[in-house]
Amino acid sequence: MTDNFTYHSRKNVFYVILGIVFIVFFVRLIQLQFLYSEKYGKMSAENAIRNVAVAPLRGYMYDRNGILVVDNRPAYNVTVTPVEFENKNLELLTEILKMEKEEVLERIEKGKKYNRFSPVKIKRDVDFQTLSFVEEYSGQLKGIEYQFEPKRYYPTKAHGSHLVGYIKEITESQLQKLGDFYRQGDIIGASGLEAGYEKYLRGKKGFELITVDAEGKIIGNFNDGKSDIQPVEGDDLELTLDIKVQALAESLLSDKRGAVVAIDPTDGGIIALVSKPDFNPELLSGVTPFSVWQQLNTDPAKPLFNRATLTKYPPGSTFKMLLALAALQEGIIDENWRVNCRGSFTFGNKVFKDMHVHGSTNVVEAIQRSCNVFFYQLMLKTGLPTWTKYGKQFGFGAPTGIDILEENSGLLPSEEYYNRRYGKGRWTQGYLVSLGIGQGELGVSPLQLAAYAMALANEGKYYKPHVVDKIKEKESKKIIKVEPVMRQINLKNEVWNAVREGLYRAVNVAGGTGAAARVPGINVAGKTGTAQNPHGKDHAWFIGFAPYENPKIAICVLVENVGYGGVFAAPIAGLCIEQFLYGEIIRNKLNQPKIILTKTEAEQIRD
């Protein structure tokens, strides 16, 4: 009796336990089928289907004559899908890629934060041998694949490195700021036009759905590729740049430190923008070895520094015309006002020197001969507030707004500036004397001076400098014209005429300082500058424009630590003006977009 009871009790307990287990499984089945079916179905699909981003071709860049300036070439990246990768294969992978284990693991861990099912770029721009090894060991390297990615290529002789800029892999902080378009390992514009027009140049990513087996090997396209989204190429940029002038200017500064900026006075378009020393942008278009990046950053010549837009040097005598314009416009002097130049000027207990004894000199002659004594006295007569007022009208002390983004404001001293720096009543009129000849604490960039030369050429039409003329949208087929932005500096006609006459004489009449900028058959106007440098030899400047009667190019040349502007900067300006204007003449006659000027190229080689 007792044994029979025990048997039935154990049987009942077993049935109860079995019933509970059945109920648990049944409830879980209901949850999976009805409550969590979408969630786990999606996870199941992600384990079988991979969403692979396809990089678009980055937009091309062309110069004003249709010459291709920035191109694309194929490159390949090795990727890892974090969810599939097995750490036991880490040593083999690092051996193939020639990378440190810590670096590979760091990239994989970062990739997991965004999407562990999405491929992460481990190494960019790998060579054919590495691709062969990846393919050979594909059976062992689960989750390892390679993808196509375009790489920038520069088909002309010109570098244009500070103008077009370069691209680099996106940083962690950029990823957090820029939303969903970018993923770890993507490239992004880092400087110049590449950065300024990133949203146009980058294009739109495509997405390819592929199926993989249980081992993670690719079987093929999901749904025969019908679900794929094709990438859209980046928009093309048509530039105001003349690549022939750019290449020539780069060659003329090849063994120097300095900058050349040339502007089209009819619309503010940049014809050339050169900073030397520079760098080969191809070094930064793929994977940049650490040694190369370190060399560029530690080089005392600072090749990454854009001297065309970021320098802040005294402009020397190139600034004299601004003082002349201010004094003439305000009626402080007229064209007949004269100063007797004896080669020096004494103010207080200090003697300010001139290069020559010019005798009786009026404003036109003072510009032509670059008479310091005339402008020492004119600055004291005009005063700082008026000088600063006109300096602001010509854009000094503020960025120009150029579309490569990278520039500084320079420094235009004012009463407020001196009061702030030295204290009210603690600075004297002696500070102003040097400002009259573009010295002292005044600081400008070659870009600002080129824009100033453009305004002198245009009799006050000041265009905002820009490099992009048109944007050709790939998807919509539309062409977006970048409309020039212009403001007028209103001065009397006789004021413009007097100053422009001085600039003409400075190049074309005996006694002028800019004779080395002459171009046969073309009237060039301009002004030299030799700016004192406390750290070595003087900086050489030249600004000018041509043709004098109907300006097509305005230019600024800076050569650091060499001496006189008339000796070192003016000849470079003349050759660049010649290259551009002779090219324009020939193109207009032949109606052809691409011209090779053998005469000018011969001059380039000779120099």
Q: Give the other-Cβ count within 10 Å of 406's Cβ.
A: 17
Answer whether residue 151 shows pLDDT above 80: yes
Would you place residue 111 in the very low, low, confident or very high pLDDT band (cuts 50, 70, 90)?
confident
What is the spatial distance between Cα 175 and Cα 238, in angstroms, rounded to a whole number? 29
**Four-point Cα dihedral 422, 423, 424, 427, nearest 10:** -30
Higher pLDDT, 156 or 607: 156
pLDDT digits (tens, 9 = 90+) for 292-321: 788 888 889 899 999 999 999 999 999 999
- Tokens 């062992």 correspond to 140
User: What is the pTM assigned to this prediction?
Assistant: 0.82
With CA atoms as reference, report the closest residue to 308 among 270, 269, 258, 264: 258
Answer whether residue 602 shows pLDDT above 50: no
50-85+94-239 with 243-606: one CATH topology? no
Residue 320: is it exposed, middle or buried by C-beta count within 10 angstroms (0-12/13-18/19+)? buried
Token digits of residue 234:
């980046």
- Please, what's the b/e burial string for 13-23 (b: 16 or more CB within 10 A of its CB; e: otherwise)? eeeeeeeeeee
pLDDT digits (tens, 9 = 90+) for 86-106: 778 788 888 888 888 888 888
Residue 447: is it exposed, middle or buried by C-beta count within 10 angstroms (0-12/13-18/19+)? buried
What is the spatial distance between Cα 406 and Cα 418, in angstroms, rounded to a whole number? 27
Answer whether residue 499 shows pLDDT above 70: yes
Would you place residue 128 in the very low, low, confident or very high pLDDT band (cuts 50, 70, 90)?
confident
Would you place residue 223 in the very low, low, confident or very high pLDDT band (cuts 50, 70, 90)?
low
What is the spatial distance between Cα 362 and Cα 340, in angstroms, rounded to a whole number? 9
> E strands along 218-354, which residues?
218-221, 236-239, 258-263, 270-276, 339-341, 344-347, 350-353
pLDDT digits (tens, 9 = 90+) for 28-45: 666 656 555 555 555 454
Average pLDDT over residues 8-16: 67
Would you place residue 519 in the very low, low, confident or very high pLDDT band (cuts 50, 70, 90)?
very high
Average pLDDT over residues 505-527: 95
Note the pLDDT of residue 59. Answer: 95
With CA atoms as reference, report the closest residue to 167 among 179, 153, 157: 153
With CA atoms as reference, report the closest residue to 580 among 192, 256, 265: 265
Structurally, what CATH architecture does the domain formed by 50-85+94-239 represent?
Alpha-Beta Complex (3.90)
425: left (phi over 0), alpha (psi -120 to 50) or beta: left
Note the pLDDT of residue 598. Answer: 42
Would you place residue 172 in the very low, low, confident or very high pLDDT band (cuts 50, 70, 90)?
confident
Would you place residue 603 in the very low, low, confident or very high pLDDT band (cuts 50, 70, 90)?
very low
**CATH classification code of 243-606:** 3.40.710.10
Would you place residue 592 in the very low, low, confident or very high pLDDT band (cuts 50, 70, 90)?
very low
Note the pLDDT of residue 605. Answer: 28
Three-state secondary-structure class, residue 465: coil
Would you place residue 107 in the very low, low, confident or very high pLDDT band (cuts 50, 70, 90)?
confident
Residue spans of the domains in the chain: they are: 50-85+94-239, 243-606
How does DSSP classify residue 451?
A: H
Number of H helices, E strands in the chain: 23, 23
Would you place residue 261 in the very low, low, confident or very high pLDDT band (cuts 50, 70, 90)?
very high
